[in-house]
Amino acid sequence: MNLRTLSVTELNQYIKRIINSDPILNAIKVEGEISNFKKHSSGHAYFSIKDDNSRINCVMFSNYFDSIDFIPKDGQMVEIFGRVSVYEKNGTYQLYVNQMKSAGIGYLYKKYTELKAKLEEEGLFNILYKKNIKKYPRKIAIITSKTGAAIHDVISVVRRRNPLIEILILPSSVQGENTVDEVTKAFDDLKNRKDIDTVILTRGGGSYDELFNFNDEVIARKIHECEVPVISAIGHEVDFTIADFVADLRAPTPSVAGELVTEDIFTIIEEQKKLLNNMEYVIEGNIKKYEKSFSKYHYDYLQFPIIKQLTDNVHILDNTMNNITHLVNNQLVDVEHKYQLIMEKINGNNPLNMLEKGYTRLRDKNNNTIIKSIDDVKEDQMICNELKDGQVLSKIFKIEVSK
């Protein structure tokens, strides 16, 4: 059988004609729960409606949207009237809505509000339970997907602001049916660790449904029970989950979470330099002020009867000034010495300086974690050898234990 070859456009047009010719699909009433509602600057509204098993994309143009008497939002049950057609550009079918009316609160939204009210009544959102975020953490833990953009955003910010901070990655699903179990396990793994100063629970943006796992009661209680402070950075700035309310601090994005957990070490060093310079300026100013005050007691300006007495006082004051100058100089030397020790400590801890001496830093190629022991590697594993001027990709051939 000879078949005519169609272009993609012709195929989509053909499917559209079939759907448009169906009388049921051209005038249909559907009830469902709104999800991922967005109103464009043009006035058009884009969203999905769903039930327990399925969803369909919808569009409501501005001339129809302006006629409704309520503001739609995620989780709301609605009854809509419209037609089903095909959007030719990407070959998807969707519901073109002409009318919409509210039909109550959707199941997911009702579940969310009920749990939020329950946990709030128990005090899990109370500010009295909020732990302070440590200003200078040594080691932080990140619970998130190891393949998502969120982990790269957090690590990039932390490394830029303070490369001395250690990072522990606890990989977990951040959407789907395994999310609750894996996030729960990550928090359980932290229970026996005493080296973690702060935990960041994060994922990037997503639809209302994709973020809904972070409205789970089990995750909320794990955050509340965590012994170290927890920063929640779920979705975008406009997204709020129960995890955000329970956490000790909410970050609007993963990148902001990285900023909240770190102080810029290079800014701190510059501030310390300014303080030292200001201290030196003030001390020098006081010395000059006292020198000017004491100069009027020079014997050329004194009358004979009191010359001897004041001359003796001038000698005493000169000795005092010498002692003050000596003490001030010692303090300046001490401050400068402490500053040098701080800089040496920072430079000593900088892994890049170690690379200059011929050492290498080993990282797991897949999850980018630092390899510190042979327990962290296995045969046939791919590793990165980081040198001062680049990286060498290696494969573990054999592991030998030091005797």
Kindly indicate the confidence band of residue 350, based on its pLDDT and cuts at 50, 70 and 90. low
* pLDDT of 263: 85
Cα separation, 204 vs 5, in Å, equals: 42
pLDDT band at 298 (very low <50, low <70, confident <90, very high): low
Q: How much is the average pLDDT of 108-114?
A: 84
Determine the CATH number of domain 8-105: 2.40.50.140
The tens digit of pLDDT for each residue in 191-233 reads: 888 999 999 999 988 777 788 889 999 999 999 999 999 999 9
Sort 277 into a burial class: Cβ within 10 Å, 0-12 / 13-18 / 19+: exposed
pLDDT score, position 237: 80
Nearest to 142 by CA among 9, 257, 5: 257
| 102: pLDDT strictly greater than 70 | yes
Residue type, 318: D
Average pLDDT of span 336-359:
68
Q: What is the pLDDT of residue 198?
A: 95
Q: Whole-angstrom Cα distance, residue 403 to residue 400?
A: 9
- Pull the structure tokens for residue 316: 């005493």
In angstroms, rounded to a whole number, what is the distance separating the alpha carbons of residues 231 and 250? 6
What is the DSSP pairing of strand 230-234 with strand 249-250? parallel
Q: Going edge to edge, which strands form the sheet with 249-250?
A: 166-171, 139-144, 198-203, 230-234, 249-250
The full set of domain ranges for the chain reads 8-105, 115-260, 265-349, 355-395
Torsion of CA 61, 106, 102, 57, to 10 degrees: 20
What average pLDDT score do residues 173-186 get? 92
pLDDT at position 95 is 96
CATH of 115-260, one of 2.40.100.10, 3.40.50.261, 3.40.50.300, 3.40.50.620: 3.40.50.261
Phi, then psi, of 139 in degrees rounded to 5? -145, 135
